Amino acid sequence: MTVQELLAFAERHPYLSLAFVGLTLAIVYTEIARLFRGYKALRPAELTVLINREDALVVDLSATADFEKGHIAGARSVTPSQLDPDKKPLAGAKQRPVVVVCRTGQASAAAAKKLKKAGFEQVYWLDGGVLAWQQADLPLVKGRG
């Protein structure tokens, strides 16, 4: 396909061409924003490596009942109101890798953003949450932890 054919197509289908350009720009913007946001999504396998090699602190935002039904070994149950560097669960963890986890990955992404703004240096969130962890056939611990 030549440039002239592309231009002819764009002239015949202006709305389709504008939609294509708009979607392309949106994708580029989203990817660039993701690179510079300061926190990173992890898959379950990446989280296991981070826990084992760098002693990451895993913060679970799940409701207490859900946490007790099953959570990642070593995770701390933390309510969203405790996501403060001065509160007990996170005190002294600003330089340590911190991974925020929830059931589906939605709440943890927002919490990761909050922790990064609070000055935590290495912030991650588990993409897909505990459900993704289970789908990867990784073990959960029952009880209060």
Q: Which 8-state DSSP code applies to residue 96? A: S
Assigned token pair, 96: 């340590």
- Cα–Cα dist 145/143, whole Å: 6
| pLDDT, position 118 | 85
- Regarding whether 91 and 49 lie in a shared domain, the answer is yes
Give residue 138's identity as a one-letter amino acid code.
L
- Regarding whether 23 and 43 lie in a shared domain, the answer is no
62-87 average pLDDT score: 86
Find the domain containing 30 and state its range. Answer: 3-35
Tell me the pLDDT tens digit for each residue of 4-17: 998 899 899 999 98
In a domain, 141, yes or no: no
Q: Place 85 in a pLDDT band, splitting at 50, 70 and 90.
A: low
- Regarding whether 49 and 17 lie in a shared domain, the answer is no
Report the interhelical angle of 14-36 vs 3-12 (nearest 10°): 110
Q: Is the pLDDT of residue 33 over 80?
A: no
Tell me the pLDDT tens digit for each residue of 109-137: 889 988 888 888 899 999 999 999 999 99
